[in-house]
Structure 1
């Protein structure tokens, strides 16, 4: 099946405001072909018409192309290392601003909120952003399954969650209130500023090199000197000094 991705990339940018051509081509085209097949359409022209007239299909497309694989304390050992660095950072910056970029269903920023509470860091602000409004609404609702919270000890589950059913847990309001959610596109929107820590994990691996490097530079610009960037377990920033960053721990970089 020969698909006209040049047409579709332009259509998605014009109509949905998403820059598909910044993502790695083969991965993105495979994802689009898969969801087209599930919808029973054979051309991207026909698929674009379906997305225009069917809001459900449009939302399924947005959720399919954005990366929403997440869980609380994903890669727990790395989060433990980040927690130590965050506590150290708080000694130098009593009023922390933390940005959780591409936050998906909220597991990551809420993990940060729990870390702050456990370490009695009370003067901190967490901003969490994502490109998908529907995902952000799920994050605000903050109801999770066992698979989402599998890395949280039972004692912490009891402290921070109310169990709704065998496989549903609602985050308590005390943690929910610590996070401010906003819509944001890493590829085109203005970045947060004066951040002391930025958490963006397992996202840039899907970007082409130029787009990835631009994101890293903008993250660096968003940090105060001495601030830290926490990346995913597959995201090593090569030549980090080119972005004004230095590696200080596993997948943690500090603005020089």
Structure 2
């Protein structure tokens, strides 16, 4: 049976405020069909009703479609390159940093930033802004509670300094939690913050169509101050950074160019 994706896209926009038209079509439809099959629904009309009736099914759909996958210090070698750039090049140029972690999922990325800044004694202008489209995920991120497997990239010294352990559950210290502010944000529909010194958006743009991705890169660049850093994921490459006013300075790290 052919699935009615036109219906589902319109329904998702109205009911979930989710613009599925922006995602890569074949990839997205495979994901929708897979997660729908696990509920026993035979059609997308039935699946839409199940999402409306059952909060757990709704959350599984959002998790699967909006890609809530992340780690602390994800891709450690790349993160160490970013840390070096931030500590040695960026921080000396600006007295107070404004940092935005876009599509932050369960909070691992902004909390990684907060721990990094704390270790190096780097000040921020305000709390790190961490955003995501999924309000349920944001609620979990605010709690700062993680399982053993989610801690796989955390060094033993950081466990001691920044987490309390109880029954194989890790509780992030209040001192680090208070350095991050969480907010719902749609990268497609909502305005971007401005005057950022650092933007992290990692392994996200690969799921969107090229025209949507281009618009995101343009808006990320506009959100940065000249000399600010844009940190992407290990699955992403900006092939023509100059088109967005950026220049590549390291693996998956781009700097906003200074205008003449």
TM over 0.5, shorter chain: yes
Unpaired stretches in structure 1, ≥5 consecutive residues: none
TM-score with structure 1 setting the length = 0.97
How far off its partner does 1:124 sit?
4.1
How far off its partner does 1:50 sit?
2.2
Pair 1:151-2:148 in alignment: no
Deviations 1:99-127 (A, max 9, x none): 00000000000000001001001334310
Pair 1:54-2:54 in alignment: yes
Whether contact under 8 Å (1:110, 1:175) holds in the other structure is yes
- Secondary structure of 2:183's partner? strand
Moved over 3 A (4+): none
Whether contact under 8 Å (1:201, 1:230) holds in the other structure is yes
TM-score with structure 2 setting the length = 0.95
Number of matched pairs: 255
- Secondary structure of 1:109's partner? helix
Whether contact under 8 Å (2:201, 2:233) holds in the other structure is yes
Range moving further from structure 2, 84-93 or 195-204: 84-93
Question: In the alignment, what sits opposite 1:83?
Answer: 83
Pair 1:42-2:42 in alignment: yes
1:200-239 alignment, distance < 5 Å: 200-239=201-240
Question: In the alignment, what sits opposite 2:181?
Answer: 180
1:111-122 alignment, distance < 5 Å: 111-122=112-123
How far off its partner does 1:251 sit?
0.4
- Secondary structure of 1:148's partner? helix
Question: In the alignment, what sits opposite 2:108?
Answer: 107
Distance 2:237 2:16 in 1: 31
Distance 1:123 1:42 in 2: 51
Distance 1:3 1:217 in 2: 34
How far off its partner does 1:25 sit?
1.3
Distance 2:184 2:68 in 1: 15
Unpaired stretches in structure 2, ≥5 consecutive residues: none
How far off its partner does 1:16 sit?
1.2
Pair 1:7-2:25 in alignment: no
